[in-house]
Amino acid sequence: MSDSHLIDRQQPLGRAAHSAAFSPLYQQIKGLILQGLDRGEWKPGEAIPSELELAARFQVSQGTVRKAIDELAADNLLIRRQGKGTFVATHNEAKVRYRFLRLTPDDGQPAASSSQILDCRRAKASADVAAMLDLRAGDAVISMRRVLSFNDSPTILDEIWLPGSLFKGLTLEFLQRYRGPVYAMFETEFGVSMVRAEEKIRAVAATEAQAELLRIGAGSPLLQVERVAYTYGDRPVELRRGHYVTERYYYRNSLN
């Protein structure tokens, strides 16, 4: 019973429904499952309990649990697999691996990609970085830069800031040893799951330094993508400023 912190439904809702604290049962269940994810009760890639188990645990019907899970699956936090169960989404999977990489080649898609880490150091958060990561100015952050190349032509220059408290042990050597997508590493090595991101996109002219790293002319147009990525509970855990060469690649987007 101590597992359940739901609004008491034994009393018919009546006026209680008008109170600010009211939310539908399935939303409360959704919140409880989210807490479980956040606590790490089920790790990325693992199955969560079956709908019937969760229904028993939370003392609601299977249908209510189902609606909660439906929404979490729609948000890409969970993945349903018929006949097998419901699994915690992970970046270690072909299907959703490049969910956050929107750059697409003009022609056929496959491209050999490689990453070169330029630097990685601990620093104190400037006022603006702190604001975007919900830190205080001067708090410890990790700052790194890298160049991503496709088919050996440098295409993306990324500058990344992370809260120091969450990524202890993230060093240049560690990064250089690591293979594969950064978000998969954050998840596996530091237990931080990126779940959602907001981007601000502009066209800018390449500075001298950027031009040299990307092997283009100074002043060439670059797509600037400033991203704040969030984990469970909408807590910001990464700030990334990317500069993309969009000669043979474009940023794809769908509007609904």
Partner DNA sequence: CAGTGGTCTAGACCACGTG
Partner DNA sequence: ACGTGGTCTAGACCACTGC
- Which residues of this protein are in contact with its own copies, per CB under 8 A? 74-76, 99-100, 102, 104, 196-205, 219-224, 227, 244, 246, 250-256
Alpha carbon distances (Å) from 86 to 55, 56, 89, 131:
14, 16, 9, 36
Is 210 near DNA (CB under 7 A)? no
DSSP lists the bridge partners of residue 126 as none
Which candidate, 38, 70, 34, 24, places its Cα nearest to that of 51?
A: 70
Partner whose binding site includes residue 50, from its own copies, DNA, none (CB under 5 to 8 Å by kind) = DNA
Q: Which of residues 17-56 bind DNA (CB under 7 A)?
A: 17-18, 24-27, 47-48, 50-53
Is 177 near DNA (CB under 7 A)? no
Is 238 near DNA (CB under 7 A)? no
Is 14 near DNA (CB under 7 A)? yes
The Cα 97–Cα 238 span in angstroms is 17
For residues 223 and 237, which CB has a smaller minimum distance to its own copies in the complex?
Answer: 223
For residues 60 and 237, which CB has a smaller minimum distance to DNA in the complex?
Answer: 60
For residues 166 and 201, which CB has a smaller minimum distance to its own copies in the complex?
Answer: 201
Alpha carbon distances (Å) from 220 to 202, 203, 245, 250:
14, 10, 9, 15
Q: Which of residues 86-145 bind DNA (CB under 7 A)?
A: 86
Q: How far separated are the first and last CA of the chain, in Å rounded?
A: 42
Partner whose binding site includes residue 250, from DNA, its own copies, none (CB under 5 to 8 Å by kind) = its own copies
The Cα 43–Cα 58 span in angstroms is 20
Q: Provide the 10 A C-beta neighbour count for residue 47.
A: 14
Rg of the chain over Cα atoms, rounded to whole angstroms, equals 22
Which candidate, 42, 33, 43, places its Cα nearest to that of 188?
A: 43
Tell me how far, at minimum, the Cβ of 223 lies from its own copies, in Å: 4
Q: Which of residues 58-77 bind DNA (CB under 7 A)?
A: 60-64, 66-67
Site residues (vs DNA, CB under 7 A) = 9, 12-18, 24-27, 47-48, 50-53, 60-64, 66-67, 80-86
